[in-house]
């Protein structure tokens, strides 16, 4: 018996983190995989006639121990990696892929699922059960269950290799991010606000360096690029940031990206699809590459026009400083910050003391209470890292979830921000409430002060967390965020809107030292600047989304970097803006299949989130109880129990147009 097969005598069934050692994971995975294989073999070989209970519900519970082990391990591997965990990740990638292929290639098992599907009209299934059966059959077919012989064998090989390459891509990127830093002399701190200086000193301590440093953590490098008057240092930092995964070293990701794209194209062809994009988009809301391109190009034109107009203003500011030549990418944030201060009288250094992490946590919890009646009670650790904090989530005294927050950047954590679940909600086999994790990469300070973008990230990830915590379905297969990729960002992007509600900031945006509320004129300027620099933000996003789509829509490019350049040239990419995620560090697309052909989904969801918040505005109250109840019932609680379009229509009464997005980004006047 191992720690993973024992009952956990911990509050709410939390993993006993202090008892779990890295050496436990390998044997635990081996045992859990063996158990899952035995359970699935028994389901496939059952002499009883197939029924929903002895096939689908049995499959739902067949991998219980494996889910338990993986729920802990993969969360730790992303948020607190080390050499042992990275080695096990590399070992597990082909093993987990092989297991997945064994299941999808099990002809006897698929035959039982197919019999259920063909006879579904006579099974007296609930709507949720029919949806689960439909999705199981779809998953098996899309995984190659209908293939035979050499084609089936080759698909297994392709998926195994893709799993290995995705892990390698992620680890290469983490290694590059962990290795690079730029020491700063005391003179190099000139012009930097105190919060940037403090973050740089803390980063130096974390790296074991005597003095401040700039790292590739977004929460440090972006404010450095905003405020440092030393152009040569900005250029050095920016180019290192853009070169992640493309440094010509052992961690170079360019060849890996090319191989991944070739294998994805082959995978799609084996399954009978015209392209990988056609394969990937089939179950999403967009359905086709043409629909994705149409959305992106409708937004691209006004966004590019706005960005080019902004670039002319910034370039004039650059030249007024006596600098010859054009505006460069490492100049944009610096002069944009100066322009923001001049036009909106909004200084981020003056703003951040009102946006402490503690204040913004209180704000996100308060909004969840006012909308959904949730309460948050702090829990004692230990959790998986000393930085992690925990809360019990309740409603009307009843337990809802455990929420863990891991907010600070460190060398063991991959970049970015994300939400995951160590345990998903379900009712089958007894009520199981979720354990949800939010991970961010804020620069640690005393206190930690957030930029407005950081605060939006905090709210964004908590929107994902609410989708997990408020899930109310029977089957784990469709719980929480188990929805179409271009629907999953709706709850997260929608929740960002409550950060813009004046009453929320009036209540919670308080100076970390004095407790004084944000001055009314500062709040007004902050909200008025809500669409500032949206040309830049929209262009850098759409460029990445268009490159992702182009990579997967036709034949796989032999040289992804050349293809990237061709796509950007065809778009007319402004020279002073680069892709938000260049190919060698485009983890969304190459660390796994999650967002491949799907990076557009943030914008697809934004079309809905702008319209969804308008429902509250039309009700005359951002916390309108009836609208919040519909949002919970049809979006947050429903998981994947219906098609995404059906769920949104039940909430809003109709599907939205792109105009709400353009208005929200301040681009409507450019159309």
Residues marked active site are found at 461
Euclidean distance between CA atoms 25 and 70, whole angstroms: 9
The DSSP bridge partners found for residue 213 are 183
Can you give 192-231 as a three-state secondary structure string?
CCHHHHHHHHHHHHHCCCCCCEECCCHHHHHHHHHHCCCH
List all residues 6 or more positions away from 543 whose beta carbon is below 8 Å from its beta carbon: 567, 568, 571, 573, 577, 578, 579, 580
Euclidean distance between CA atoms 115 and 122, whole angstroms: 11
Give the largest CA-CA distance in the chain: 83
Number of neighbours of residue 620 by Cβ within 10 angstroms:
8
Euclidean distance between CA atoms 602 and 493, whole angstroms: 8
Q: What is the CA radius of gyration of the chain?
A: 25
Helices (H) and strands (E) in the chain, counts: 27, 7
Number of neighbours of residue 151 by Cβ within 10 angstroms:
15
Can you give 543-570 as a three-state secondary structure string?
HHHHHHHHHHHCCCCCCHHHHHHHHHHH
Euclidean distance between CA atoms 665 and 542, whole angstroms: 13
Contact 571, 543 (CB under 8 A): yes
What is the helix (H) or strand (E) element at residue 315, kind and residue range? helix 289-320
How many residues are listed for the chain in this entry?
671
Contact 330, 304 (CB under 8 A): no
Contact 406, 78 (CB under 8 A): no
Quickly tell me which residue has 């294998």 as its tokens: 263
Measured CA to CA in angstroms, residue 390 lies from 6, 11, 502 at distances of: 23, 11, 28
The DSSP bridge partners found for residue 401 are 393
What is the helix (H) or strand (E) element at residue 375, kind and residue range? strand 374-379
Contact 461, 450 (CB under 8 A): no
Angle, CA of 655, 656 and 657, to the nearest 5°: 130
| H-state helical runs in 22-81 | 22-45, 58-62, 64-79
Phi, psi of 517 (to 5 degrees): -70, 160
Q: Is 388 helix (H, G, I), strand (E, B) or coil?
A: coil
- What six digits make up the tokens of 326? 């054009």
Q: What does 618-663 look like in DSSP terms, one character per residue? A: HHT-TT-HHHHHHHIIIIITTTTSS-HHHHHHHHHSS---THHHHH
The DSSP bridge partners found for residue 420 are 437
Q: What is the dihedral of CA 653, 654, 660, 661, to 10 degrees?
A: 120
Contact 116, 55 (CB under 8 A): yes
Contact 489, 657 (CB under 8 A): no
What is the helix (H) or strand (E) element at residue 418, kind and residue range? strand 418-423
Question: How remote is the C-alpha of 357 from its chain's centroid?
Answer: 20
- Exposure string of 524-551, with b = 16+ CB inside 10 Å and e = fewer, is ebbeebeebbbbbbbbbbbbbbbbbbbb
Q: What is the dihedral of CA 474, 477, 481, 486, to 10 degrees?
A: -130
Number of neighbours of residue 361 by Cβ within 10 angstroms:
18
List all residues 6 or more positions away from 30 whose beta carbon is below 8 Å from its beta carbon: none
């Amino acid at each position: 018996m191992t720690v993973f097969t024992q009952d956990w005598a911990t509050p709410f069934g939390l993993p006993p983190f202090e008892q779990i050692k890295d050496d436990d994971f390998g044997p635990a995975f081996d045992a859990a995989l063996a158990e899952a294989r035995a359970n699935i073999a028994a389901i496939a070989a059952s002499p009883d006639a197939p029924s929903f209970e002895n096939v689908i519900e049995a499959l739902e519970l067949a991998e219980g121990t494996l889910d338990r082990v993986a729920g802990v391990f993969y969360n730790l591997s992303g948020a607190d990696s080390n050499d042992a965990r990275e080695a096990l990740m590399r070992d597990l990638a082909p093993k987990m892929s092989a297991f997945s292929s064994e299941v999808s290639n099990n002809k006897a098992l698929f035959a039982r699922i197919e019999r259920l599907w063909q006879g579904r009209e006579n099974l007296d299934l609930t709507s949720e059960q029919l949806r689960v059966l439909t999705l199981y059959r779809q998953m098996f077919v899309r995984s190659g269950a209908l293939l035979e012989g050499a084609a089936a064998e080759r698909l297994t090989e392709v998926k195994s290799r893709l799993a290995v390459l995705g892990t390698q891509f992620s680890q290469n990127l983490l290694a590059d991010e962990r290795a690079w830093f730029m020491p700063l002399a005391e003179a190099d701190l000139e012009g930097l606000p105190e919060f940037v200086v403090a973050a740089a000193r803390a980063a130096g301590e974390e790296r074991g360096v005597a003095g401040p440093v700039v790292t590739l953590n977004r929460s440090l490098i972006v404010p450095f690029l905003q405020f440092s008057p030393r152009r040569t240092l900005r250029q050095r930092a920016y180019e290192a940031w853009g070169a992640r995964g493309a440094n010509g070293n052992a961690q170079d990701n360019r060849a890996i990206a090319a191989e991944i794209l070739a294998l994805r194209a082959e995978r799609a062809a084996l399954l009978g699809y015209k392209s990988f994009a056609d394969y990937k988009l089939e179950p999403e809301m967009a359905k086709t590459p043409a629909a994705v391109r149409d959305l992106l190009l409708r937004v691209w034109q006004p966004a590019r026009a706005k960005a080019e107009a902004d670039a002319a203003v910034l370039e004039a500011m650059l030249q007024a400083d006596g600098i010859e030549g054009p505006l460069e990418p490492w100049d944009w944030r610096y002069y944009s910050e100066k322009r923001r201060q001049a036009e909106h009288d909004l200084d981020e250094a003056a703003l951040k003391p009102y946006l402490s992490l503690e204040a913004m946590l209180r704000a996100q919890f308060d909004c969840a209470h006012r909308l959904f009646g949730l309460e948050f009670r702090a829990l004692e650790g230990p959790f998986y890292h000393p930085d992690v904090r925990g809360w019990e989530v309740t409603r009307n005294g009843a337990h809802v979830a455990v929420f863990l927050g891991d907010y600070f950047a460190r060398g063991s954590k991959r970049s970015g921000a994300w939400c995951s679940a160590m345990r998903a909600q379900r009712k089958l086999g007894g009520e199981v409430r979720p354990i949800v994790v939010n991970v961010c990469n804020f620069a640690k300070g005393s206190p930690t002060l957030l930029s407005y973008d950081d605060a939006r990230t905090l709210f964004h990830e908590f929107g994902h967390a609410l989708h997990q915590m408020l899930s109310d379905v029977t089957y784990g297969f469709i719980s929480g965020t188990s929805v179409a990729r271009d629907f999953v960002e709706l709850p997260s992007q929608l929740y960002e809107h409550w950060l813009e509600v004046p009453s929320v900031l009036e209540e919670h945006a308080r100076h970390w030292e004095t407790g004084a509320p944000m001055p009314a004129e500062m709040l007004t300027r902050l909200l008025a600047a809500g669409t500032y620099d949206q040309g830049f933000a929209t262009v850098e996003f759409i460029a990445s989304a268009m490159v992702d789509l182009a990579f997967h829509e036709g034949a796989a490019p032999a040289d992804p970097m050349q293809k990237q350049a061709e796509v950007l040239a065809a778009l007319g990419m402004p020279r002073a803006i680069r892709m938000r995620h260049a190919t060698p560090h485009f983890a969304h697309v190459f660390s796994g299949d999650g967002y491949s052909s799907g990076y557009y989904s943030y914008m697809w969801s934004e079309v809905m989130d702008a319209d969804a918040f308008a429902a509250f505005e039309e009700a005359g109250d951002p916390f309108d109880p009836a609208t919040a109840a519909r949002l919970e019932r049809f979006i947050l609680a429903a998981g994947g129990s219906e098609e995404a379009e059906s769920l949104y229509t039940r909430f809003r009464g109709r599907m939205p147009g792109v105009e709400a997005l353009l208005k929200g980004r301040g681009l409507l006047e450019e159309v």
